Amino acid sequence: MKFLRLSGLPLAILYGLITYLRNLLYDKGWLESRSYDIPVICVGNLSVGGTGKSPMIAFIVDLLKDDYRVAVLSRGYKRKTKGYLEVREDHSVREVGDEPLQLKKNYPEITVAVCADRRTGIETLRAKAEVILLDDGFQHRKVKPRFNILLTQYHDLFIDDYLLPMGRLREPVAGARRADMIVVTKCPEGLAYAKQQEIQFRMKLLPHQRIYFSKVSYDKFIFGKTETLPLEYLADKSFSLVTGIANPKPLVEYLERREFKFSHDKYPDHHNFTTSEINRMAEDEIILTTEKDYVRLQPLLHKYALYYLSIKTVLLNEQEPFFKEILEEVIRKK
């Protein structure tokens, strides 16, 4: 494994040089990074793969939606449409992407839009919102958000990672300086405060930067199209777990700790399921999946026992009021 990593060193050096020069051009103002009068809060990361952006976006929506007109702007990864498009509940995954559709179904009262050109998206949404959440826009330097939230997984901290293709970093670790807040996600249950302090020390935060720690909380119920059942319904059942997310390991470990009996069909993130894969799933008596995968699978398996287990982000140390206060200060700032 070490040899394979070292074999990618020349490409990592080249990639790092390119991203460094690109960021330098924006930092010096030689390339325009446009700011807006409307508050734009960006949620992103330095690495490829899942760091918990979707649950964090939902967490922020929950905090703000009762007091502000909130809009969420996403690229709409793997969608087949082009340009700016506002998400409706009756859209398909192919039209808008799985995560934007999931968010719209959960929060029909907010505006969710997809647009690869974030400037166009923001300028279109300005008249419809009081705050815009920019999903996965940390490397989108054409836009200068009012506030940058950088996510990093507890078990895969960016400070311990390497640039592509040696590791999973999209840009050098120095890019974290653009963050106003860092959230360490997917922390284990009962994480000691001393360990949190150790990570904070290793991050070498700038004076203006804040750090928070969060964990994943699983629902006590599973949800189908027409019914809601307690999670314990699966205790004496044999079922199939189907995942098409970047890192299903925490979910698998959670179900194993509860001593559920299941097989696991693992697919890549944002996977477009084929007819043969759907036909094979249809042979299972019960299928459990993630909420993101459910929006893909439900139209294809609507006659079968398909359920999803939802998750949410929970801040450690009861820091939610302070987190919300910071966001409100950002929104009020002129």
pLDDT given for residue 5 in this prediction: 62
- Does 299 share its domain with 238? yes
Cα separation, 36 vs 68, in Å, equals 17
pLDDT given for residue 50 in this prediction: 77
- Does 60 share its domain with 152? yes
Count: domains in the chain? 2
- Does 169 share its domain with 300? no
Cα separation, 82 vs 96, in Å, equals 9
Query: Using 50, 70 and 90 to split pLDDT, how confident is the model at 310?
Result: very high
Cα separation, 267 vs 204, in Å, equals 36
Q: Per-residue pLDDT for 2 more than 70?
A: no
Q: At what angle do helices 53-64 and 98-106 cross, to 10 degrees?
A: 30
- Does 97 share its domain with 154? yes
Q: What is the pLDDT of residues 127-153, one digit of tens each?
A: 999 999 999 999 999 999 999 999 999
Query: Using 50, 70 and 90 to split pLDDT, how confident is the model at 6?
Result: low
Q: Per-residue pLDDT for 215 more than 60?
A: yes
- Does 236 share its domain with 165? no
Query: Using 50, 70 and 90 to split pLDDT, how confident is the model at 270?
Result: confident
- Does 262 share its domain with 155? no
Cβ atoms within 10 A of the Cβ of 124, count?
17
- Does 231 share its domain with 253? yes
- Does 70 share its domain with 198? yes
CATH number at residue 184: 3.40.50.300
- Does 133 share its domain with 207? yes
179-202 burial: b if 16+ Cβ within 10 Å, else e? bbbbbbbbbeeebeeeebeebbee
- Does 178 share its domain with 284? no
* Structural domain that includes position 189: 2-216+315-332
Q: Per-residue pLDDT for 252 more than 90?
A: yes
Q: What is the pLDDT of residues 8-43, one digit of tens each?
A: 788 999 999 999 999 999 999 999 999 999 999 999
What the block records as the tokens of 9 is 């060193």
CATH number at residue 303: 3.40.50
pLDDT given for residue 319 in this prediction: 96
- Does 55 share its domain with 135? yes
Q: Of 167-176, 216-225, 279-288, which range is least confident?
A: 279-288
Q: Per-residue pLDDT for 3 more than 80?
A: no
- Does 206 share its domain with 239? no
